[in-house]
Structure 1
């Protein structure tokens, strides 16, 4: 591994590692937790629903679910193409033909900035492997809530398993470095008055790059102030309460209409 790539071999894998694989010409990466014995626990949506917008984009960015022809399913996993939520797959299905990369924790600020592409590392520290595996296994059986491309995606799942950290505010993006990069890029392009301080192309590029780097840095869970450590049992219990309240509100609205 180095500044330009986090690629590793399967021989280097250890239980509790946060791994990822790029999809569709490096458009986005799919993340999961390696739990040993060639198995990965990851959070996904069913085929054609990866970004969950309900638009044609859901069919452009195909599912991160393991995909095999229905008449030739994986001998270890079976047909998982229609599954969503937290699932367990063999590493071949998880990679889906892609390369294997290791997500880095406790990186220095300099290295973090040097990794221009989000979703590859964080300044936050990882918990011990036993804690990571406990969270992943618990969520495999109890779920990780509703998938959301910006606030609750596969990278958010893996980062939570590694750190136990959750975002406690409702106005910001989740823990995902990929999502933070999108917002940082948008901020660099349209949101800063500093772009009016220079008219040269090089000056605009320097200002935009600086804004992008700062925005990414302050969005990382290792420096954010709107995160807190939440035990996995409490996370699941609160999620079930929220779901019950939502169902109750829906039922009340239906009764009022009747």
Structure 2
């Protein structure tokens, strides 16, 4: 097949093409190229849109975006609700003020979202015993540590997500039914140490040298003395240490003078 003098030769036959048709065929070539170019641009935009959509889905899986599907938990009120001297309730005094405080020098207060979150967790008696670490990535907070139940894990996340300024919470708390055991052991060691320090301040108890052991907040005193009143003094000194639930003195021996 060949084009000669406006004729298309097909074997022995020929097809005549008028001269005015040839320019029109040539004019359609740029239009075809433009259409192909636009088609490639549309395909590229589609691929970029799909990539962005996948990135957003991946981010949503990694971070729990805050929503209002659950109400904010109510922090347990303190045991001793004394009225404020100025007539305001303790609730008004402890409520979070969203305005920035200004010091006497006129400088703005320095605050941190991580510290705010830690204080909020310590204000709840259910979470107070646990050492929960908080990591921040901008306004997204990550909870790290151990609690003893799923409900405590959820409560911690709910408290943090309701704080002003928090965008999202990633809850990495691990549930371990034995998590509180280590905390109790550590607390017992502190109680024992505080009781011994109190005994050291008394010449009488320092001379007797009672042994002190604490398990689950229950203090057991061991030793011997001639005077029962000294046992009472030791028990009362131990009683004043925060966290003590009971004082057992049954293992203290009363001895008689020889």
Shorter-chain TM-score above 0.5 = no
TM-score by length of 2: 0.21
Q: Which TM-score applies when normalising by structure 1?
A: 0.21
Name the one with the larger strand percent: 2
